[in-house]
Copies of this chain bind each other. A is one copy, B any other.
Amino acid sequence: MKVSREVPVTAWKPGKGLLPDRQRLVRDVVIPYQYRVLGDQQEGVEKSHALENLRLAGKKLRGEPVTEPFYGMVFQDSDVAKWLEAAAYALAYGPDPELEKMAQEVIGLFRDAQQEDGYLNSYFTVKAPERKWTNLQEAHELYCAGHLIEAACAWKECTGRDDLLEIVEKNVDCIYRQFMEKNTRGFPGHPEIEQALLRLYRITGKEKYRELSQHFVDVRGQAPHYFEEERKNRGWYLWEQDNRDVLDTDYTQSTQPVREQKDAVGHAVRAVYLYTAMADLAGETGEEALQQACRTLWESVTHRQMYVTGGIGSTVLGEAFTVDYDLPNATVYAETCASIGLIFFARRMLHMEAKGEYADVMERALYNTVLAGMQLDGKRFFYVNPLEVVPGISGKAVTQEHDLTQRPPWYACACCPPNVARLLSSLGSYAYSQGENTFFTHLYLDGEVESTLGYGLSFDTDYPRSGEICCTFHGEAETTLAFHIPAWSQQTTLTVNGEAQDLSALVKDGYAYVTRQFREGDQICLTLDMAPFKVYASSRVPADTGCVAVQRGPVVYCAEGVDNQGDVLSLSLAAEGTLTEEPYDPDLLGGIVPLMGEGWRSSPGEALYSRKRPERKPADVRLVPYCVWGNRGENQMRVWLPEV
């Protein structure tokens, strides 16, 4: 029933430009770096122990003495699985014997850590074998399994090999027995396996995986609440909050069955992972009630609870959504993983129905929060993505301890860094999708993509540096090419072999549909409107009233102290002021188009409060893309500036 499906990661070959460069950075730097971190071979970073945990599990299963304890989060295995998934994608570029060796070693660790019956989780095998399946609410067993499933699918897709798939199918069979054959109640506290099982279903064609995914989605939030039952029975807990008198079912999006949920609540990553699976399932089955629930939750997230940077989950308390329009810029959480999950959700919504809105949000999250999650050198990462940073307050005030001014090299809870890696190294599967005889382009990347419709496309662009995108058709077919027309592009032109087209006739719901008998070398060229513009938040958002943000294409800009005499707080943009593009600077922040805004600088004032309006002088406000902030040392940063 889906309008379209993603193309395999291998179908896309990245070319030049911002995102392809980042994808190469992931392959060349991030993946080897993270391998060293996971193996505790990287000096001066937070200890991971993730590979060692798997080794310990293997030893234990072989009956060898295990002298060391399990270390780290209960979901430490998932860091490895996500890394492995990214490594698989990286191998799609072409052979890399060293990386392949690393990946094979890691697959071996998983193989050794797997129990006879297929069970696979180093935490429980090493530390608490008697507690298996007793704490679905918080122990992340199904979550870790989900990530390993995704790694296996990626590994199969990119290398053609079945070895990891075999391990994973044996593991899923174990899970299937537990929850389907034995009829054990339960569903994961942290969704992930639901979307992974659908992927496994598509790769293997085995219906039981889809069935298990559907099961986990359907039983979620059914009464009597499974987690209540579990708490009564289990007698142990991982975190203090799980032991509270009142179970917070919103945290796990399980207060109601999924089809009855109207508002995005709770832990933001869990939420969008769940919604992704719901949308994927709804697309597969065509079930209207589930589709409608997805649309309702999509609106709750993106129409009322999303930052302009595509960040979601505004509070550190539970890493969660709060209430509509509560989007503080300084105390914000906006976890990198949550924006990655929002991209997952957007992709599945796009497959369900081709609406530009979904691709718009995908772009917003990708070019802003997700890219901001990684330092330009690929070795430092943000977990939390503030829209305002003031050294002395950010990271220091007790309400902003989580809002760091600089990216750390690793985290005790390291979910985000490998998540960025796997997303950026599989961009092709987000950028394109294909329907029966329609090929969709959702994101503009320089490079080549192959469809299974008997043709390929090559894209020539340095987007988002410029809005010129030229797509060349390879092959011959009567088909439809659908191009996303971003909502921010005010003036868009589209030519076919040089002939201007009437865009209004072609565009429906944010996509331009070009249908014809295409021939080798046919060219469709798009010009998107890259003029910088100001963005205003609805005045329902208290944090942004009187303020303005600046965007150029999908890229949200910010003012940093280093470009503005160290003081961003005293800057404002002039209501009638212009925004000017500076020349592209290939040496600045990895290559950016800086902007200059006409504005004002006030004197900060000696007194805390004064009846004298601060003296205001015209000032040029220099702006750089938000995604590269914090790459030049600690300094003030703001996305929203007062407009006067």
Contacts and interface: CB of A to CB of B under 8 A. Distances in A.
Interface of A: 302-304, 306, 308, 315, 317-318, 320, 322-326, 328, 330-331, 388, 390, 392-393, 396-400, 488, 490, 533-542, 545-547, 549, 551, 567, 569-570, 572, 575, 602-614, 641-644
B303 A608 contact: yes
Contacts of A306: 608
Given A304-B608, A388-B542, A642-B642, A317 B536 contact: no
Contacts of A399: 315, 317, 322, 326, 328, 331, 399
Contacts of A304: 608
A613 B548 CA distance: 9
A536 B612 contact: yes
B614 A539 contact: yes
A610 B534 CA distance: 8
Nearest to A317: B398
A404 to B, nearest CB: 15
B330 A542 contact: yes
B536 A611 contact: yes
Nearest to A392: B323
B642 A545 contact: yes
A614 B575 CA distance: 12
Which of A324, A536, A551, A608 counts the most chain B CB atoms within 10 A? Answer: A608
* Majority SS at the chain A contact face: loop
Contacts of A643: 546, 644
Given A328-B331, A488-B611, A546-B547, A396 B539 contact: no
Contacts of A537: 605, 608-609
Given A547-B546, A642-B546, A536 B610 contact: yes
A643 B547 CA distance: 10
A296 to B, nearest CB: 16
A538 B323 contact: no
A505 B323 CA distance: 58
Given A302-B608, A537-B608, A546-B642, 10 more contacts: A536-B611, A536-B613, A537-B605, A538-B606, A539-B567, A541-B608, A545-B570, A545-B572, A545-B642, A575-B644
A545 B533 contact: no
B569 A397 contact: no
Contacts of A570: 539, 545
Contacts of A330: 328, 542
Given A642-B545, A643-B644, A614 B536 contact: yes
A143 B537 CA distance: 48
Nearest to A250: B398
A606 B304 CA distance: 11
Q: List the 9 closest pairs (A to B, CB-CB), nearest first.
A: A546-B642, A322-B397, A539-B570, A538-B605, A326-B397, A539-B604, A539-B569, A317-B398, A326-B393
A558 B642 CA distance: 20
A485 B587 CA distance: 59
Contacts of A612: 536
